[in-house]
Amino acid sequence: GELNGHIEEMYAGHQVMRAFRGQERSLATFRQINQRLFSSAWQSQFLSGLMYPVMNVVGNIGYVGVAVLGGWLAIEGRIKIGDIQAFIQYMQQFNQPITQTANIANVLQSTAAAAERVFEFLKEPAEAPDPVPATTLLVVRGEVEFRDVVFGYNAKTPVIKHLSAHIRPGQRVAIVGPTGAGKTTLVNLLMRFYDIDSGQILIDGVDIAQMTRSSVRQLFGMVLQDTWLFHGTIRDNLCYGNPEASEAELLAVARDAHVDHFVRSLPGGYDMVLDEAATNMSQGEKQLLTIARAMLAKTPMLILDEATSSVDTRTEVLIQQAMDRLMQHKTSFVIAHRLSTIRDADLILVVKDGNVIEQGTHDELLAQSGFYAELYQSQFVEDVDKPTK
């Protein structure tokens, strides 16, 4: 497994590896892992190969003992020849299962190693069952409230500490903060990918712990920084959240998301098959496709991970326009990395060390001259200092 993982990693990142002249280091690591595999496999095969001849020798010694002792007793007249034959048959029946055990010793070793991994997986705590009966929201307004939420990936180190915030229906909420502040964890809790340790998260006044995970997740559309497109046609990927969408709905959304113009230029258009990880498309094109997919899903709320840093300026403008259309009249949570893009947010939550330390509009937070103002000024200075081409 380790060797296959290394090969896959080097194959997937071969361009970076070559760019940094890492071929020799990669080969050295491969040889080390391969040598360990060779040593382990050689010892395993040697021991399993030794087992069978040893058991044969032991079994044959038994036959020799029966023949010699039986012959001597027969000469003495104490037993008959038929008795010797019977003992030989008994020895054969006795040795057969032992020989079979030796033959499957290697299989038993592999089974034990696999069972160890399976039992480690089974020891992992299971998800808490959904409540019965569960609450269902018939009409979703999009009001969200965090009440004194506490959460940690382990009990000793909480990531979210007594967080409280109130989001009104239709608000565009930006979540900002330094790396590791808990921004992504916050939206993971909202989607019930994890259950909180204490407190409440409410949607339209209903605790999400009283709803099934499926019913919570169907309320949100997601556009993540790490775009995920599966192996299939562009049409299948766009309709992933809404398989019943009509052709007219698909084309309308594609135009709104600035997808239609470049998809029609591709061989096969909407029926073009994307390869594994969609490597036959650019990062910007993949981002626009995920936005179109979220549009077509028609969910009442959205979670967006701003991802425009790795695309050119023109594509960045298209992505921003598509996101603006996507968020119209919907409660939206935007994990912001560039503060210049969230000036028009209805509410900005500034997260630091698992707490919302500031909240308000862009102008209100700048007027407070607090942590947000420092972040904004630092990014503004960096942008000004960047050399122009």
Instruction: State how far the Cα of 217 lies from the Cα of 225, in Å rounded to an integer.
Output: 18
Parallel, antiparallel, or unpaired: how do β-strands 301-305 and 355-360 relate? Answer: unpaired
* Residue 218 within any structural domain of the chain: yes
Q: How far is Cα 186 from Cα 267, in angstroms, rounded to an integer?
A: 41
State both tokens at 8: 């896959």
The reply to whether 200 and 109 lie within a common domain is no
Residue 20, phi then psi, degrees to nearest 5: -100, 15
Q: How many CA atoms lie within 13 A of 368 on its CB side?
A: 17
Q: Rounded CA gap, 334 and 337, in Å?
A: 9
pLDDT of residue 207: 93
Domain boundary among 89, 123, 157: 123
Q: Do 321 and 258 touch, CB atoms closer than 8 A?
A: yes
Contact 160, 190 (CB under 8 A): no
Calpha distance 90→325 (Å, rounded): 85
Cβ-in-10-Å burial (0-12, 13-18, 19+) of 105 comes to middle
Tell me, yes or no, whether 343 and 218 share the same domain.
yes
Q: Would residue 199 be called left, alpha or beta, if left means φ above 0 and alpha means ψ between -120 and 50 degrees?
A: left
Is the distance from CB of 324 to CB of 294 less than 8 angstroms? no
Q: Two tokens at 273?
A: 């098959």
> Tens of pLDDT along 146-170?
999 999 888 788 888 888 889 999 8
Domain annotation covers residue 212: yes
Which parts of the chain register pLDDT below 70?
1, 15, 20, 48, 52, 101-103, 105-106, 306-312, 380-389
Instruction: Please indicate, yes or no, whether residues 156 and 111 belong to a single structural domain of this protein.
Output: no
3-state secondary structure of 136: coil
Q: What tens digit of pLDDT does each residue of 189-214 get?
A: 998 988 899 999 999 999 999 999 98
CA proximity to 235, closest of 269, 210, 258? 269
Tell me the pLDDT tens digit for each residue of 284-294.
888 888 888 98
Q: Is residue 307 part of a domain?
A: yes
The span from the CA of 262 to the CA of 123, in Å, is: 48
Q: 3-state DSSP helix/strand/coil percent for the chain, to nearest 5?
A: 55, 15, 30
On whether the CB atoms of residues 348 and 356 are closer than 8 A, the answer is no
Together in a domain, 366 and 235: yes
Give the global pTM. Answer: 0.69
In a domain, 72, yes or no: yes
Query: Which of 91, 123, 155 is the last residue before a domain boundary?
Result: 123
List CB contacts of 152: < 8 A, sequence separation 6 or more: 158, 159, 160, 197
The pLDDT of residue 116 is 82
- Answer yes or no: do 224 and 108 share one domain: no
Residues 359 and 287 placed together within one structural domain of the fold: yes
Q: Are residues 190 and 85 in the same domain?
A: no
133 in a domain, yes or no?
Answer: no
Number of domains in the chain: 2
Structural domain containing residue 220 = 144-385
Q: Are residues 217 and 161 in the same domain?
A: yes
Same domain, 108 and 152: no
Query: What's the confidence (pLDDT) of residue 384?
Result: 44
**Is 173 found in the same domain as 309?**
yes
Q: 303 Cβ partners below 8 Å, 6+ apart?
A: 187, 190, 191, 220, 221, 222, 223, 332, 333, 335
CATH number at residue 155: 3.40.50.300
* Assigned domain for 8 exists: yes
H or E stretch including 19? helix 14-19
DSSP-assigned states of every residue in 218-274: TTEEEE-SS----SEEHHHHHTTT-TT--HHHHHHHHHHTT-HHHHTTSTTGGGPEE
Q: Are residues 154 and 291 in the same domain?
A: yes
**In the numeric block, which tokens belong to residue 246?**
């009509």
Whether residues 56 and 200 share a domain: the answer is: no
